[in-house]
Amino acid sequence: MEFKHTSVLLHQTIENLNPKNGGLYVDATFGGGGHAKYLLSKLASGTVIGFDQDEYAINSAKLNFADLLKSEADPKLQLVHDNFSHLKINLVKLGYQDGIDGIYYDLGVSSPQFDQAKRGFSYRFDARLDMRMDQDQSLDAYQLVNDSSQKELTNILYKFGGEKYSRQIAHKIVLKRQKKPIATTFELVDVIKEAIPAFARRTGGHPAKKTFQALRVAVNHELDALSTSLEEAIKLLKPGGRISVITFQSDEDKIVKNIFKKYSDVEVPRGMPAIPDDLKPTLRLVNRKPIVASAEELKNNNRSHSAKLRVAEKL
């Protein structure tokens, strides 16, 4: 079982984590394990806990990282099949209740998820509408497309995809599904193309790109899960521990930026001689502006074009 995926901002993510021997680190989005492999190469001793809600990713990791999983010597790797919004409960189950030394997120969809036609993530392959990262989850894209009201669909496409023609697409979806359900990715693509004016389809990439992104985010509750996880991660970090987050969408980056700001900015009342402990900042921003891919990485890895890395340190 091979999980082919090129990690984005690999060195920048791990090196800004400032890993130390003997530390406990969390890979919140394990995927193909590229970041974890590089992190482990930097540690003479320590532990990495890899989270992924995708069973395919976990099963691939069990084969591809078998030596590390079975090894008694540090550094070692442990895997958790769960969403990264459940950090604390899983770490406690594993016996790690004293906090973590670092955590990192790569919020992009893994290449195998896009490349496996049956997963229904991509408009490039014809498959049943699915888009579930966790295959045990009941809600999928088929249900979302065929059961949501026109207003709900409009809001999803605009909020999570920034789709300019969200109303037209939602209206066309509702009309089409009155005759029969929209069951496959290609059927949905045809509906989208019918809804978007011809002149608008000539530029800006594939006409279904924003709709598919929006549905994927909605199906997997990605933004809510991210907010929950970041709040939990900051509480779990030990003093001096760092958090690195790679985002690919403006909504994701906004959430990360705002949460980091919430814990790093301090408003001190006028005339107060010293900052009380309860008003002191929790985080220090390691980079004020997001780190982006180098020209070389942009050339070699197309996925890196929209990637932004933000890093903060627990005080």
Residue set of the binding site? 33-35, 52, 84, 106, 113
Cα-Cα-Cα-Cα torsion 127, 130, 133, 138, nearest 10 degrees, comes to -150
Q: What does each C-alpha distance from 232 to 38, 159, 225, 226, 262 come to in angstroms?
A: 25, 25, 11, 10, 14
Name the helix (H) or strand (E) containing 234.
helix 222-236
Question: For residue 8, which of 217, 212, 308, 230 has the smallest C-alpha distance?
Answer: 308
Across the beta sheet with 308-314, what order do the strands follow? Answer: 76-80, 46-51, 23-27, 100-106, 237-247, 308-314, 283-285
Binding site residues for S-adenosyl-L-methionine, as ranges? 33-35, 52, 84, 106, 113
SS3 of residue 247 by DSSP: strand
The whole-angstrom separation of Cα 117 and Cα 139 is 19
DSSP designation for 74: S
